[in-house]
Structure 1
């Protein structure tokens, strides 16, 4: 009776490490002439093309350093394409740090950013600046100061709501344990 071969991936304890199969692994070599390193970093052969070069890390960095995205476009077309990319999520140059885009460092919620906008403050304003702006705008738009002015009353309520949002966010930050 012939003895059947067992798979190497069965049983406990494993006598060999994971991924130590004996089959040959296919490695793509860097497309740069004369380079023997693995080519594991794809790069486009031309703009709007699905064809790719595969470079090692060193040659990919060299390729990217010399890449001109707007090559072959007129000045007008290049400006139009840059404006299109800045309009949607692909214009990452405006994002600060690696947050989810938009102003600020990613530590404030959308509601907090809207509240700062209502109080006419920058995205990185601290809570003392929030308090000063809230007092100034509340005094200007208070219904007792401007009786009968519906717009001032609406602005006053929006200013109060914005301050409440920022105050509760500041209290949450103070009580959050240090990471």
Structure 2
């Protein structure tokens, strides 16, 4: 006599394994001729039409680059529509002062992003690039190179502070990792 195996399911679907189903998944292919990527980005076939093309991200970006939202409208109608949409989205503009959705991937603080900007670097620059940029810029405005120049002294202090902020952040990352 074989014994029934006890289930760890407990009847709660969320405790079951993800992706354990065996049903076929429908994947829509990009509508662009010759593209075999998944077409998961809908795009309107014409203004005010429910018909949609389904493109991959690359072809959707290409399609939308040439899209004119105000095509076929006279100046007054286009201005009226633009004003309506600005009033509808005014809440999003109002929240911009909180600094949401700034540049970067979220791994750097606002101070780090300001420091990178002061050194003239991109938000995703690594610490070797930071060190090189700091050395080259600091050498140009060092007080020994330009004695008595107040503007150069201020720039040197800015570069020093930016480097210190980024160095401390790099040390914290190394310590955590």
TM-score (norm 2): 0.49
Larger radius of gyration: 1
Q: When you count helix as a share of all residues, which structure comes out higher?
A: 2
